[in-house]
Structure 1
Amino acid sequence: MKKITLLIATILAIIILNDNRVYAETSSKPPTLHSESAFLMEANTGEILYEKNGTEPMYPASVTKIATAIFAIETGNLEDIVTISSEASAKNVEGTTVFLDEGEQVTLEKLVQGLLINSGNDAGVAIAEHLSGSMEQFSEDINAYLENVIGTEQTNFKNPHGLFDDKHVTTAEDLAKITLHAMQNDKFMDIFGKKELEWDGKTWDTTIRNHHKLVKEEIPYIGITGGKNGFVSKSGFTLVTTAERDDLHLVAVTLKTSLDSEAYEDTISLLDYGFENFTVSSIEEGTEFTVEGQEYVAPETLSFLHSVEEQPKEIIEEDGLVKIVDGNETITAFQLEKYSDGGELEARNTAVESHETSIFDNIFVYFLIAFILGIFILVNVAIRKRNKRRYARNNRYFL
């Protein structure tokens, strides 16, 4: 019995020690946050640097407008003239507005500017009506767009502005995905990063100013490229922020704090953590390699994230696969194109495949552990029963 126990314990130890999950070593610990949910992503690579309850459904408040803005930019015509309805006029919309007046004519682009910069809820209603005809249809249209185009998994938006609805929910991870997608659009980023804009409206001539304190530099921070804030009582304070330094582009999402100052404190902590501990290296487009007489070329700039403490190496295999290796660990891999065949091979980042394989391997490991434990329990039960029978047989004359 002791030999069996020792054998099983040895097998379990070997399996656990060979579990190949790897976590990036950094020079500082991940931050401790006030926010109930948070997410930090690197935009070039899509790598997740930090998350806290990242997949928990949350009320987003006005950071909803990031989704409305990119939806309008990508599916609408920004030069369209929108006539403001009674429902979209400022007098009939709650919260912050850009004082749109019934019958006023405004370009779709101006409405997106008023939506993102001044957080105009009336602009959101006008955009929804123009794109979809009604708020109800807009909800269906934007949710389909977010799921099918961007790949959100737990987002359900009931309106374009984020005013409270108990069914209007998303997650920090989905918001990071939405923002990452929007960042690829120059028009969006131009508006998303504006500190202020002259507004010449029918009833309101003013300078509208971004409400995000890092964007308007009320709180100084080097590298901020854009942001949107939000608040309703049931969502608490919410923030989405983008920043870049050198080749590192970060998306930080914080959801639900009780104080405005805590949301900014958390955001700065996330950005500091990202900039201080990670960096992006690249193989430039057109870089040539020769392996065993075969020439290969990088078809595009191939970027990969790693800890600032790592010095990863490039290993080129015979089939043109570039492995980025830190010690014995492969960080990511890219497929080069054969230089001589006109690029028949398509470049593909195999990091996702490696991650999926890693997940599968881990599931297999856990199944194997459970299987071995099951055998151990069955053997133990059988031995106990056998010993009881022997005891009963040896002592039957004394009963």
Structure 2
Amino acid sequence: MKEADFDSLGNPLIRSSAFYVQDVNTGEVLLEKNSSAALPIASITKLMTSMVVLDAHQNLGEVLEITEDDVDRIKGTSSHLTVGTRLTREELMHLALMASENRAASALARNYPGGMPAFLEAMNVKTRLLGLGETRFYDGTGLTKTNVSSARDLASMVANASRYPLIREFSTSTGYTATLANGRTHAFHNTNALVKSPDWQIDVQKTGYISESGKCLVMQAWMGNKPLAIVLLDSWGRYTRLGDANRIRKWLEASLARQQLALNRNTNSATDHAN
């Protein structure tokens, strides 16, 4: 472990302004800072978007079309999904979760029964049902800064998202090739490089970024045979959120190693006394 990654007490130096690490099984909070602050969450929104779509049991094989209504008028971001592209609801969910495609998420929300108003109501109803007190949604993409949540709420959200097999599969997929409106194909890739790392076993993940939110990352990952919720909000460096995640992993691995060493010593001591 590099000394610069840890303080004098051996705790990880986390650069994200808000973070939360929790043992999903026991509820034990392992690390936290500013965990109840309601902050913009950008494309982490797409986890809730996908849950709401799946809860509605809509036909995943239905073909939907990207229209001018899906073009980003908030931030002016570009998209590889050209207007006129026709993909199944399942493909759009895949691209929204894996590649964070805003037009895909917009099309999913727009084609919800009752349209966008009903979709936003469903998002916020689910938020209340999950007990997420610091969370509010005003669109299905996360492009608006008014979509907010806390690190603590997001730990619960990602744990709930992990119960959906398709969300687990699509959010951790490394790549997918889709056919666009002009007949050409485009290879999309995961926005989170950690899904390719042999050091990580990730169940669910989602990245996010708009200028108001900074770089964000939520994951449920396995360490030491435990599922952990890891939430990192408002990181500004290009690689800060990934660096923070790796510092947390190294810290947890070191903690587990110390616990195992202490357990072995206690076991050996008890054996010696017995003899």
TM range (shorter): 0.7 to 0.9
CA distance in 1, matches of 2:78, 2:227: 30
CA distance in 1, matches of 2:249, 2:160: 19
What is the DSSP-based 3-state SS (H/G/I as helix, E as strand, rest coil) of the residue aligned with 1:156? coil
Indicate the residue corresponding to 1:75 in structure 2.
56
What is the DSSP-based 3-state SS (H/G/I as helix, E as strand, rest coil) of the residue aligned with 2:154? helix
Q: Of 172, 188, 208, which aligns to 1:208?
A: 188
CA distance in 2, matches of 1:185, 1:108: 16
Q: What percent of counterpart residues are identical? A: 24
Most deviating of 93-102 and 171-180: 93-102
1:345-369 alpha-carbon deviations (Å, 9 max, x no partner): xxxxxxxxxxxxxxxxxxxxxxxxx
Indicate the residue corresponding to 2:217 in structure 1.
239
- What's the CA shift for 1:237? 0.9
Aligned residue pairs, count: 252
CA distance in 2, matches of 1:96, 1:309: 52
Most deviating of 120-129 and 88-97: 88-97
Instruction: Tell me the C-alpha RMSD between the 2 structures.
Output: 2.6
1:76-112 alpha-carbon deviations (Å, 9 max, x no partner): 322333243430257998325341423x432211110
CA distance in 2, matches of 1:172, 1:107: 32
Q: Which has the higher contact order (CA 8 A, sep 6+)?
A: 2
Change (3 A) 1:91 1:58: closer
What is the DSSP-based 3-state SS (H/G/I as helix, E as strand, rest coil) of the residue aligned with 1:114? helix
Q: Which amino acid aligns with 1:74?
A: D
- What's the CA shift for 1:134? 3.6
Q: Which amino acid aligns with 1:208?
A: F
Query: Matches of residues 93-172 of structure 1 in structure 2 within 5 Å?
Result: 94-102=76-84, 104-148=85-129, 150-165=130-145, 167-172=146-151
Indicate the residue corresponding to 2:234 in structure 1.
256
Change (3 A) 1:75 1:45: farther
- What's the CA shift for 1:158? 0.8
Contact 1:97/1:118 (8 A) holds in 2: no
Indicate the residue corresponding to 1:37 in structure 2.
18
Q: TM-score, normalised by structure 2?
A: 0.81
Q: Which has the larger radius of gyration?
A: 1
In the alignment, structure 1 segments of 5+ residues that lack a partner are 1-27, 280-306, 312-399
Contact 1:252/1:271 (8 A) holds in 2: no
Q: Of 223, 228, 252, which aligns to 1:274?
A: 252
What is the DSSP-based 3-state SS (H/G/I as helix, E as strand, rest coil) of the residue aligned with 1:126? helix
Runs of 4+ in 1 over 4 A off after TM superposition: 89-93, 307-311
Contact 1:195/1:209 (8 A) holds in 2: yes
CA distance in 1, matches of 2:17, 2:73: 34
In the alignment, structure 2 segments of 5+ residues that lack a partner are 1-8, 264-275
